[in-house]
Amino acid sequence: MKTLTVEVDDRLAVVTVDRPEVRNALSRQVLAELRDVLADLRERDDVGLVAFTGAGDKAFVAGADISQLRHYDLHTGLAAEMQRTFDVVEAFPKPTVAAVNGFALGGGCELAMACDIRIASENARFGLPETTLSVLPGAGGTQRLARLVGTGRAIEMILTGRFVDAAEAHAIGLVTAVVPADDLPGELRRLADQILAKGPLAVRLAKLVVRAGMDADQRTGQVIEQLAQALLYTTADKAEGTSAFLEKRPPEFKGA
């Protein structure tokens, strides 16, 4: 890989977009390498959670590579490479976290929104300024932002292209935590440890049920919930979790 680095430590995989000279802009090579990395991490038994961040202290990902975008045409738009890549992130079976350590603009904001959870440093900035270039957020931004912060606020942010600081992002529900920049890696580790201590099958199915229910009516969502719960009732991990609770000891989940 030329544009990404991957570090795995105690079941946490941190994928870093490593192009600080262009504020970690998303070139087509970044997207291709990201898909390859996710395919690998999906199958690794030593990885239980995947986090994304950016190299340096200025940017998470400051959008698409404009030098490439200027040459995009109708066929590029219909191919929707970035949208398809972020759909892979959203559908990833293991939990995903965006650790936003600076500017998350355009495609960077869309990458963060495709993750299950977003945490941010105090210097983080979010925005979808594509209309400034006479295009729109085409990697899921028009849909995911509205679902996260509400339709009216999403339209206002997209039409004006304004940036949202970390405090406002937290207030509107775009991120779940804001910490000093130096504390972001520790906050990521703390969050990962909390999730990784839980039953891995339960975590995987809970994510799936929430995601699927968002695109269905409530009754259908509850049927999906019911079926997932019935499946979990048959697992060895459920037996271990309940036994450990009653015996007042930490559970030893096997993912089975």
- The DSSP output letter for 198 is S
Q: Which residues of the chain have pLDDT under 50?
A: none
pLDDT of residue 255: 87
**What span, in angstroms and rounded, lies between the C-alpha atoms of 40 and 38?**
5
Q: Taken in order 159, 136, 153, 216, is the CA torsion positive or negative?
A: positive
pLDDT of residue 66: 80
Question: 137-160: per-residue pLDDT in tens?
Answer: 999 999 999 999 999 999 999 999
- Tracing tokens 């963060």 back to the chain, one arrives at 112
Q: How far is CA 233 from CA 1, 238, 256, in A?
A: 41, 6, 11
In this structure, the number of other CB atoms found within 10 A of the CB of residue 171 comes to 13
Where are the chain's structural domains? 4-196, 200-246
pLDDT of residue 67: 79
- Which residue in the list 110, 156, 168, 247 is annotated as catalytic? 110
Distance from CA of residue 137 to its chain's centroid?
Answer: 17
Give CATH superfamily name and number for 4-196.
2-enoyl-CoA Hydratase; Chain A, domain 1 (3.90.226.10)
- Which residue in the list 21, 33, 122, 130 is annotated as catalytic? 130
Q: Average pLDDT of the chain?
A: 95
pLDDT of residue 175: 98
pLDDT of residue 68: 81
Q: Are strands 125-127 and 103-105 parallel, antiparallel or unpaired?
A: parallel
pLDDT of residue 167: 97
110 is known as an active-site residue = yes
pLDDT of residue 219: 95
pLDDT of residue 104: 97
Nearest to 184 by CA among 102, 109, 113, 115: 102
130 is known as an active-site residue = yes
CATH 3.20.20.140 fits 200-246, yes or no: no
